[in-house]
Amino acid sequence: MGHSPHSVPDSSGLRVLSVHAHPDDEASKGAAMAAAYAQAGAEVLIVTCTGGERGDILVEEVQRMPRAHRDLTGLRREEMKLSAKALKIKHIWLGFEDSGLPEGDPLPPLPESCFASVPLYDAAAPLVHLVRTFKPHVLITYDENGGYPHPDHIRTHQISVEAFRASHRENEYQGLGEPWTISKMYYDRAFSLERFKALDEAMRERGGVSPFADRIEFMEKRQRDSTNPAARHRVTTHVPIQGFVHLRDEALLAHRSQVEPGGFFFAASPELVEEVYPWDDYVLAATRVHTELPEFDLFAGLHDGEGDRIGTLRPVPEAFKPELPNDRR
């Protein structure tokens, strides 16, 4: 069943779980979507896999705060709480330690016991338990490149796909709750080429200066690389976010150690975004319900009257199939 591209439908009784690597990722990737569905009656739960304790302090004003260096973990927890409040969603920490972003040639080893170094089974188990407790109809995560190749983002993808694969299987992850079948899984595409092109064109037409040219050039080059997930996974789903972009900005500003007011994220005003590209974009990676593409609703195929809510894993075009991890160490 199709749906109007102008707003999300009433979603009462439906649940979406969005899995992120660090505090602030929920604000930069899908915050307006989360707020829209929360207002539409869905239960929206954001899970943050790590505490972001190895992240850099990116705002000079916060750099000067002694507390930011003494207790960055505590500061980022406070920021996350404010972000969740702005979006009116539920939030939970998965409890893993930030892996940091290794730099150098060759790359240094990952810190011991960090999220990316924990074996897949052990890393996925808390998420499987959460799935079986919260019982989401839809799961949102990153593609196999993590959106960008940060080890925590890649691990977030892996445990999410593992949870989608295994949460409904009685003989796997035993003792972690009653099995639950997730109906649909999406990859986030908050930074889609289509969005940046639309905003770039609109800003130039208005006589302004667009900061997106270099990013567009990089993304177009990436699209031509058939080995890159961004080239393999094209956008299938546009979630209407009209009236909610200002809440995305509020969530971003909650992360004052990470997001500079007036920085890149705020180059296009909420009004301009909602005028020229009023959607958050996603890739339908896997589905167990029938749906037609393109979609304008993450719960397409799951509303009353749209058929069975749970079924067998239905084929999606080859470009959308996720790579299921088999690391069972």
Instruction: Please state the residue numbers annotated as binding site for Zn(2+).
Output: 22, 25, 153
Q: What distance in Å separates the CA atoms of residue 160 and residue 156, rounded to the nearest whole number?
A: 6
Closest by CA to 287, choosing from 297, 279, 277, is 297
- The SS3 assignment for 220 reads helix
What are the binding residues?
Answer: 22, 25, 153
DSSP code of 303? S
- The SS3 assignment for 151 reads helix
Distance of CA 224 to the CA centre of its chain: 24
Q: What distance in Å separates the CA atoms of residue 290 and residue 314, rounded to the nearest whole number?
A: 7
Residue 305: Cβ-neighbour burial (10 angstroms; 0-12, 13-18, 19+): exposed
Closest by CA to 329, choosing from 117, 164, 176, 175, is 117
Amino acid at 285: A
Q: What distance in Å separates the CA atoms of residue 154 and residue 147, rounded to the nearest whole number?
A: 8
Contacts of 222-227 spanning 24+ positions with Cβ under 8 A: 223/193
Q: How far apart are the first and last CA of the chain?
A: 42
